[in-house]
Chain A
C-alpha cells in the first residue's frame, strides 16, 4: 500500500494554520441580520401569552417570531419528534426558546428580547430521574406515560439460577455525572434564502447535515430539495452538534424566510451551556455472582439515565448501554434493564462514547471490587472471564467473525506500563503522596448496529487533468475524516493523495448517508469511498487494455501509473489513462454505496447479533494522590486499541490522545452543576476541562487485526479512546487511597471524604447563608 496505513498530512490543516478556514461564525453575507433567542425563565410552565409588539417596533428589528409562526410542524427528533424549535404551549427546561428576533446587530437583537413579554403559569417540576419514573410524578409528555423516554431489557439464561450457583454475590451502586461536550467553538449557523426560488441554503457547525436537513424540511414545510445544508468547518462536535444545531438552523431559517435576508445565529458560551444537550448522567445498580474460583455466573443490572426534557437520541444511547453493560466478559446469566427518564433537566443525547463511558465506569470498577472480594488480582479475574475467540456475548452473539483481541490489547498495555510490577509495588504505601495503578478494558460495537439502517455513500470524480474530487455523505467534524477518505481514494486509484480534493459535505450533492456518529466514518464511509474509487479505477484499466496489450488481471497500479505486472516497461501515466478513457467516452465519476452487514435484534429479550464487528481496548492509568488534599495527579496513561488497521497512524494517535484527555476530564474534573434544572456551570471558568498542564504522558499503542468488513481492515477509533480512562483512573485512585469512589468525577472531596459537598452547598445557599 502506498498511501493507506501511512502517516499523511491532514488535507485540511493548511487553511487552519493560516487562519483562513471559515467556521460558522466567520461567515458574512450582504444584508445579513443577527438572530437571538429568548429562553424561558421556568423549567416547566404553560405559556399563557406572548406579546412581541414593543420588541417589533424597535428600529433595526426586522422580525420577532414565536411558535405560532413556525411554517411547518413545530417539533422534530430522530426517534420521537417531541423537541420544539420554539415552545408552543409548554416549556420543559430552561433551554427552551419561546421567541426569536432578527435585527441589524446582535446587541439590538438582545435589546429586543428584553422587550418581549411572556406570561407563564408554572407547572409541577421533576428533576430526579428516579422520582420521575415513580407513580404520581408530573408527566412531561403525554405520549411518554410514566416519563419513560426509553426502556431496554436484556435477558440471557436465568439470572436467579446464576446467583444460586454463585459463591460470592456483590451489590454495588455507581453514579456518573452530567458532562458537557465543551467543543471550543460554540454553535453557529447562517441561513440564506435562495434567490429567485423557494428554498434556503444553510451553513454552519452542523455535525449531521442530513439530520439537520430533515428536521428543517419538517419544521419549515419545505421539500428536502428546497433545503440545502452545507457544512462549514467544525470547531469540534464530539456528538454535540446535532439536535441543538437543528434547532438553531430552523430558527435562523424562520427569520431568513420571514425577512428575505440572510440570518446568522451564534451562541455565546453561556447560551451553549444552557441550551445544548449533554452526556447522560447514569445511576447504575450492579449485582454480580461469582464462584470461589472467580468465574462470573450472573449479573443483574438496573440503570436509570436522565434523558432530560426531550427524547433526542436517548433510546439509541441507552441501547448501546444495554448491549455492552456486562463488559467484555462471559456471563452465562444476565438480566439488564436500562431506563431513560424524562425530567425538567437539560436534555441529554449523543456524546462521544454514546452510553458506554457510564457503563464501563461501573462495570470495570465492579470487576476490581470483585477481585478484591475474591482475593484475586484484577488482571487475573479479567483474564479468567474475558472474551476470546468464539465467546458468546450477553446478547447471545457468538464472536467468531472477527479477531477477538481482548487479551492481546491487555497484554500489550500491561507490558508497556509495567503494570504487574507496579501493581505489587503500590500495594502497600505509607506517607502523604501515594501512587496507584488501575486497568480497564472494553469491547465496543462498531457503527450503528441494530440501532438503525446503516448505509452510506461517497462519490469519486476524476477530472481530465488528473485532479480528483471526493464527495461524502459523512462529514468532517475535526476528527480527520477528509484526510482518511482522501487517502483511501488515492490508494484505490494508485495516485498521490495531493491530487485529491475533498469537498465539504453538501446535502445537494450526495445521497443521505446517515449521520456521522458511532465512529462509523472510517468503516462505513471508508468502504463507500473505496467502492467508488475502485469503480473509476476499473474504468481506467479497461480503457488502457488496448494500449498496454494486456488484460485487466495482468495490470497493476500505483504511484500515478498503470503497468503490466510481468513487464513494468509497458506502462501508462495516470493522465494518459484518463485521456484514453475520455476519448472513449467513459464515465470517470462513480458513486459508491456501502451497506453494513446484517445485524439482528429481538427487542423483547435483548438478544441478537447487535453489531457486525467489535473493537477492543485496554487503558492503564497511573496516579499519585495527595492524601491530605485529595488532589490526584495522573502520571501516565497507557492506551492500547485494536483499530483493525490504521489508515493514518498519526490521526489514530491524535484520536487516542484527544479521547484520553476527555476521559481524564470525565474522571477528575468535569461535572455540569445543575440545580433544579438550572445550569450553574455557565462558562469555562466554572466548567473545567483539562488544560495542557493537566495532561500526563500518554503512550498510544496501535494494535492491528484487519477486519474482514473494514476498508483495508480498518474499524473504529473515535469513541473507544475515552470510554476506559475514567475507570482506569478510578481504580488507580482506589489502590492509592484504599478507598473506592463510586461516583464521577473523582474531585478532591470525593477522593478525600468519599463524597461531594457540592449539593450541600446549594442547600446551604438556599437556606440563606
Chain B
C-alpha cells in the first residue's frame, strides 16, 4: 500500500510520519506514538472515548484518518497537565469524584477543555451539551458536570 507522508503536531511536539491511507488518528496516537491515554470504546464515533482536540475542535479520533491531518495540531490527555502541575480540569475531576473506572475520563477531559477554550463560563446546559459526545457508564455524569463547573469557575 502507498504510504502517505504526514507532518503533524501532537501536544506541541512535531512528528513526521508515513502512514497507510486507512490509518485512523486513534491508531497513530495509540500504536505509533504510544499515547494510550486516548481510548477506543466503539470505533464508530458513538462513545467519545477517543475524543481529542484537532485544531481547536473536539473530534472522535476513531473517525479521523491520519493521512488527512497534515499540518494539524492535535491535543490529547497526555498534553493536558503533569502530576506536578495538573490542569484545573484534572484537579477538579479528582476533587469532585468525577472518575470511577476512568475509561471515559480522557475523552471527558478533552471535551471539557474544548468547551472551556471556547466558552470559559458555560451554564450547566452548555456543559452538558459540550460533553454530550462522550458516554460514561459509571458515574451518571453528575460529578463530572460538577467538576467542569468548578474548573470553569476557577479559571475565572
Question: Which residues of A does B touch, CB under 8 Å?
Answer: 7, 9-10, 12-23, 25-26, 28, 181-186, 233-238, 268-269, 477-480, 650-651, 653-654, 656-662, 683-685, 689, 691-693, 695, 698
Contacts and interface: CB of A to CB of B under 8 A. Distances in A.
B149 interface: no
A184 B136 contact: yes
A26 B36 contact: yes
Nearest to B125: A693
Given A18-B82, A21-B102, A184-B41, A683 B140 contact: no
Residue in A9, A13, A693, A695 with the greatest tally of chain B CB atoms within 10 Å: A13
B100 A478 contact: yes
Given A184-B135, A685-B46, A692-B132, A478 B101 contact: yes
B99 A13 contact: yes
Contacts of B47: 184, 269, 684
Interface of B: 30, 34-44, 46-47, 49, 76-78, 80-83, 86, 90, 93-95, 97, 99-106, 109, 128-129, 131-132, 134-145
Contacts of B46: 683-685
Contacts of A25: 36, 39-40
A478 B138 contact: yes
Given A183-B101, A656-B140, 11 more contacts: A10-B94, A12-B102, A18-B80, A185-B101, A186-B41, A478-B102, A654-B139, A654-B143, A658-B138, A692-B132, A692-B134
Contact of A184 (B94, B99, B137, B144): B137
Given A478-B102, A683-B42, A691-B135, A18 B37 contact: yes
B125 to A, nearest CB: 9
A14 B145 CA distance: 18
Nearest to A478: B101
Contact of B83 (A14, A182, A650, A661): A14
Nearest to B94: A13
B31 to A, nearest CB: 9
Main secondary structure of the interface of B (DSSP, over half): loop
Contacts of A268: 43
A689 B137 contact: yes
Contacts, number: 174
Interface centre among A15, A17, A21, A26, by most chain B C-beta atoms within 10 angstroms, is: A17
A30 to B, nearest CB: 14
A684 B42 contact: yes
A23 B128 contact: no
Given A269-B44, A692-B141, A18 B81 contact: yes
A657 B140 contact: yes
Contacts of B104: 184
A183 B49 CA distance: 11
A21 B140 CA distance: 22
A236 B137 contact: yes
B95 A9 contact: yes
Contacts of B42: 269, 683-684
A182 B90 CA distance: 25
Nearest to A662: B137
A19 B83 contact: no
A235 B39 CA distance: 10
Contact of B41 (A269, A650, A651, A656): A269
A714 to B, nearest CB: 17
Given A14-B94, A17-B86, A657-B140, A235 B101 contact: yes
B102 to A, nearest CB: 3
B41 A20 contact: no
B101 A477 contact: yes
Contacts of B105: 16-17, 19
Nearest to A237: B101
Contacts of A185: 39, 41, 49, 101, 103
B97 A10 contact: yes
B82 to A, nearest CB: 7
Contacts of A186: 40-41
Contact of A651 (B77, B97, B109, B145): B97
B33 to A, nearest CB: 12
9 contacts: A13-B99, A13-B102, A184-B135, A654-B138, A657-B141, A689-B135, A692-B128, A693-B132, A698-B142
Given A22-B36, A650-B97, A661 B76 contact: no
Nearest to A657: B140
A658 B144 CA distance: 11
Instruction: Please list the 8 inter-chain residue pairs (A to B) with the smallest Cβ-Cβ separation, ordered nearest first.
Output: A19-B37, A478-B101, A235-B103, A657-B140, A16-B102, A19-B77, A661-B140, A684-B46
